[in-house]
Structure 1
C-alpha cells in the first residue's frame, strides 16, 4: 500500500493514462476507422500521447487547482 502523500501524483498518472487511452482510441477510430490495423495505429498514437498527457497534467494541475477551488462551492 502506498502512503497517502502519493495519492495525488498517483491520481494524476492514472487519470493521464486512462484519458490518453480513451482519447487516442476515439481519435484514431474517427480519423482512420476501426478496421484492420486499428490496434497498431491506436498503440502508436498512444505511445506519443501518454507522455504529453502526463507532462500536461503534472504541469497544469497546480496552476488550475486554485481556479477550481475558487469556482467550487465551500458548502
Structure 2
C-alpha cells in the first residue's frame, strides 16, 4: 500500500523541522523506528491512533497538524 506522497512528505518534514533523527523520535514517542521509516517512505499508512498521537506529541503538534487535517477549513 502506498500512502499519498504529500502525507509521507509532511511526516518527514515535521520530523526534520524538529531537528530529530528517526531514532530520537522513536525514543521520544515509543513508536518503533521501523514504523516511522515505513510511514515516511509511504509504505504504510499511519493507522494506530496512539502511535499517531505519541509522534505528534513528541513533535509538539496536534494530531490534526501532524496529519494535515482540517487544512482546507483553515484556508477558507
TM-score after normalising by structure 1? 0.29
TM-score after normalising by structure 2? 0.29
Larger Rg belongs to: 1
